[in-house]
Amino acid sequence: MNKDKRIFVAGSTGMVGSAVIRQLTKQGYTNITGSHHKRKPEKQDHVQYVKLDLLDQKAVENFFSRYKPSYVFQCAARVGGIHANNTYRARFLYENLEIQNNIIHQSYLNGVDKLLFLGSSCIYPKFCPQPMKEDYLLTGPLEHTNEPYAIAKIAGIKMCEAYRDQYGCNFISAMPTNLYGPNDNYDLENSHVLPALIRKFHEAGIRKDPVVEIWGSGAPKREFMHVDDLSGALVFLMNKYDGRAFVNVGTGQEISIKELAGIIKKITGYGGDLHFDTSKPDGTPRKLLDVSRLINHGYEPSITLEEGIKSVYEDFKENYARLIST
Ligand SMILES: NC(=O)c1ccc[n+]([C@@H]2O[C@H](COP(=O)([O-])OP(=O)(O)OC[C@H]3O[C@@H](n4cnc5c(N)ncnc54)[C@H](OP(=O)(O)O)[C@@H]3O)[C@@H](O)[C@H]2O)c1
C-alpha cells in the first residue's frame, strides 16, 4: 500500500477495525479514514472519523464519492456469540449482507485499488475435517446456530471472487479464527466465549461467588488469536497477497473451553469452582484452521494465549466501566 493514499477502515470502533488502525499507525500509515456508527471513536490526529450507517446504501455511495479511498479494510459487521447469532437470525443475515454489499459494490464503482473482506471460521461445515483447509468451503452443512451469519460471510467471499472475475477488482478475503483483544465485546448475552469468561470470572471474584456457570460441556475445542496478530496479518496480506483464493488467519493451535476457563480462572485469580451447564448448546465440536497458506506466504503470529489474555485482562480492569456499558 502506498503510504500517501487514503485507507478506509470500515467499522473502526470495533475490536478488529481499531486494531487495524493501531497496526497501520505503527507501520507509518497516516492517511486513514475510519467509519463509526453507534460508538464514538477516541480522537486521533492522523485518523479522520466519519459517522456513517453502512446499511444506508445512499450514504455509503456519498461517502465513497466524497472520500475516494484507495484501499479498503472491510471490518464492519453485526457480530456476536452463539446466543445472539441464534436469536437474531434475520438481523445477522440481513445486516451483514447489506453492509458488505454496499462496501464491496461502491469499492468497485469508485475504482478502489484493493479491498480486504473479513469473513470468519464459521463459514466451514459443522463436521469439517480438522484442521480446516480453505478448500473445505461448501463441502457440507453449516452449524445451525450461526448459519445466517456464515451464509452472509460466504456471500462476501463469493462477491470478492465474482468482482475479480468480472471486473478485474483486486479484492481479497481473510478468514480469521476466534479473536480477542482490546475493545472486545463484554456483553454477557452477546459476547464470544473468551471475553464472556473474563467478565464472569472477574465479577464472580469481586462478589466472592462460590461457583461460575459456563455454557456447554467444556469439551469443544477452539482456536484463539490476539487481534494485534490478526491486524498484522491483514496489513501483511494487503501488501503482499493478490490471490483470488481466500486465506485462513489463525494460530493453528487449539484448546478446550475447559482448559481456557482454567487459564482465565488463574489469570483473574478467581478462587471458586466451575460448573458446566450441559443444557446449553456446545456449537461446533472443533474449529481449528489450517493456516499453512498464510504461513507459506510469510506471516506468523507471535502472541501466546497466556500472554495475550494477561494483557487483555489488564486492559479490561482499566477500562471496566466503559467496556461493560458498550
Ligand atoms: N471478533 C471475532 O472473534 C471475529 C472472528 C472472526 C471474524 N471476525 C470478523 O471481523 C470483523 C470485525 O469484527 P469485530 O469483532 O471487530 O466486531 P465489533 O467489535 O462488533 O465491531 C463491528 C464494527 O462494525 C460497525 N458496524 C456495525 N453495524 C454498522 C452499521 N450499520 N453501520 C456502520 N458501522 C456498523 C460497528 O460500529 P459501531 O460500534 O460504531 O456501531 C463496529 O465498528 C467482522 O467481519 C467479523 O465477522 C471477528
| Domain residue limits, the chain | 7-181+225-253+287-303
Catalytic residue among 29, 71, 149, 163: 149
Which atom of ligand 1 lies at the shortest distance from residue 18's CA?
Answer: 16
Q: For the chain, which residues score pLDDT lower than 70? A: 326
Q: In this structure, are residues 27 and 235 in contact, taking their beta carbons and an 8 Å threshold?
A: yes
Residue 14 beta carbon below 6 angstroms from any ligand 1 atom: yes
Say whether domain 7-181+225-253+287-303 belongs to CATH 3.40.50.720: yes
Distance, CA of 121 to CA of 12 (rounded, Å): 21
With a 6 Å cutoff on the Cβ, whether 51 touches ligand 1 is: no
- Give the C-alpha separation, 285 to 128, whole Å: 10
The per-residue pLDDT for 321 is 86
Q: Is 226 in the pocket of ligand 1 (CB under 6 A)?
A: no
Locate 32 and state its grid cell.
Answer: 486513514
**Rounded alpha-carbon distances, angstroms, from residue 2 to 17, 66, 78, 183, 243:** 19, 20, 30, 28, 19
Judge if the upstream peptide bond of residue 281 is cis by omega within 30 degrees of 0.
no
The reported pLDDT for the residue numbered 73 is 98
List the residue whose alpha carbon is closest to atom 27 of ligand 1.
77
Is residue 178 lining ligand 1, measured as CB closer than 6 Å? yes
Return the residue whose CA atom lies nearest to atom 15 of ligand 1: 15
Best mutation site among 16, 36, 96, 312 for ligand 1 pocket (most ligand atoms within 8 Å of CB): 16
Q: How far is CA 250 from the centre of its chain?
A: 11
Q: Give yes or no for residue 15 CB within 6 A of ligand 1.
A: yes
309 Cβ inside 6 Å of ligand 1: no
Q: Which atom of ligand 1 is nearest to the CA of 118?
A: 45
Helix, strand, coil: what percent of the chain each, to 5? 45, 15, 40
Nearest CA to ligand 1 atom 1: 179
| Any ligand 1 atom below 6 A from CB of 120 | yes
The pLDDT value given to residue 202: 97
Could you give the CA distance from residue 145 to residue 287 in angstroms, rounded to a whole number? 15
**What residue has cell string 467471499?**
157
Which residue's CA is minimally distant from atom 12 of ligand 1?
A: 75
- Per-residue burial over 29-47, b if 16 or more Cβ lie within 10 Å, else e, is bebbbbbbbeeebeeeeeb
The reply to whether 124 belongs to the active site is no
183 neighbors 15 (Cβ within 8 angstroms): yes
Atom from ligand 1 closest to the CA of residue 19: 16
Give this prediction's pTM. Answer: 0.95
Ligand 1 atom 5: residue of nearest CA:
178
